[in-house]
Structure 1
């Protein structure tokens, strides 16, 4: 089984790179996509009396800046849940978000997620789902005919092994029937949810992307593992 820092994903001739940093790079459009940063999550919990260390945001910011420095995107687009809640929107976090486009070296755009509802972010409009080229970009899964739906919200993870040795690894998950690719959560303080049966998975482990093929279906359909990047027939 091969592993690398990225994996190619091909859809109707449009090439994407699934990055080991839990992001998607679209070289044809110069677009860097991430989802579910959940900035301010520790502070949100702290405001409710639950102690969490306040160091996760720094690692998340640094990882995003490193990706922008490497790929030099035309724009960075967050597929929802940039922040965790209004409770975590401290003055310090607001200042960092205002400075982020300049630090990235390009515009920052946000498709509004459920965690941004009711929040106002200076200089950063919450946009509805939108099309960029062949991609339909949304927060929650939102298949759209004729487009590849890229989204977040689910925080997909794969369960590997069993018993005491079982691992929960973040992953990219592709539903070939819905033509939908779900990104793993980019934030450092996020959990995850197992993927439905039949989705094609690419595991993320220590900065590497591992093609894993589909989760099994109870219907008895067989799949190869690992599998190549999906190609749409017809």
Structure 2
């Protein structure tokens, strides 16, 4: 189940995959996929199921099919580090994606721009569109609402029985929204909200508003 919100007279749909669909621009925002991280862990002996690699690409395909966007904008850290076997899988995936693909380069995006040029993926440091600022690192800029990633925001929820669960979340401040990490095994940074901050927790099936002031 998704949640639809309005920001500066634009409509955005928050999806359980951790993505945001910008309805007015037909653009799908995705942050921190960290392709190659699973292969990196496995190479160094970390016991991660091999199908974790395919899960990222299956999830990407499912959410793109769901929204049918005109553009897919990755808000940084598309890849975890240098090219490995998952690069070839991404090339295959991008060939099948009819939407324009854009990457806002993050701190982990060390793969040379020339490689993206060859597969028609446009790379930018940031984008300013209709009063919205798209970056990797959370950024405050006067007269702009910022969509970003980088932090891998999460929320800790406690039940009536004392049980505790940590979930990824969309973290919204007055002029900013930080997207949860999209990729598998990316971790979470538990956020501490201030007055007027909004937290939308993400489960496998729905997005839930858990804090509203």
**TM-score exceeds 0.5:** yes
Question: Which of 105, 121, 129 pairs up with 1:112?
Answer: 105
Larger mean CA deviation between 36-45 and 100-109 belongs to 100-109
Give me the whole-angstrom Cα distance separating, in 2, the residues matched to 1:189 and 1:157: 13
Match of 1:67 in 2: 63
1:141 and 2:138 aligned: yes
Give me the whole-angstrom Cα distance separating, in 1, the residues matched to 2:205 and 2:96: 23
Q: The residue matched to 1:115 in structure 2 has which SS?
A: coil
Give me the whole-angstrom Cα distance separating, in 2, the residues matched to 1:205 and 1:46: 26
Give me the whole-angstrom Cα distance separating, in 2, the residues matched to 1:134 and 1:114: 24
1:159 and 2:152 aligned: no
**Shift of residue 117, structure 1, vs aligned partner:** 2.7
C-alpha distance 48-172 of structure 1, shift in aligned 2 (>3 A): same
1:97 and 2:90 aligned: yes
Match of 2:23 in 1: 27
1:42 and 2:38 aligned: yes
C-alpha distance 180-63 of structure 1, shift in aligned 2 (>3 A): same
1:92-120 Cα shifts (integer Å, max 9, x gaps): 32222222233221111100011113555
- Which of these two proteins has the greater Rg computed from alpha carbons? 1
Question: Which of 162, 165, 183 pairs up with 2:179?
Answer: 183
Unmatched segments (≥5 aa) in structure 2: none
TM-score, scaled to structure 2:
0.89
Give me the whole-angstrom Cα distance separating, in 2, the residues matched to 1:209 and 1:46: 31
Unmatched segments (≥5 aa) in structure 1: 215-222, 224-234
TM-score, scaled to structure 1:
0.81
Work out whether residues 81 and 111 of structure 2, in 8 Å CA contact, stay in contact via their aligned partners in 1.
no
C-alpha distance 20-50 of structure 1, shift in aligned 2 (>3 A): closer
1:57 and 2:50 aligned: no
**Shift of residue 164, structure 1, vs aligned partner:** 6.6
Q: The residue matched to 1:64 in structure 2 has which SS?
A: helix
Give me the whole-angstrom Cα distance separating, in 1, the residues matched to 2:111 and 2:97: 26
Q: Equivalences for 1:171-210 in 2 at 5 Å?
A: 171-176=169-174, 179-198=175-194, 199-210=197-208
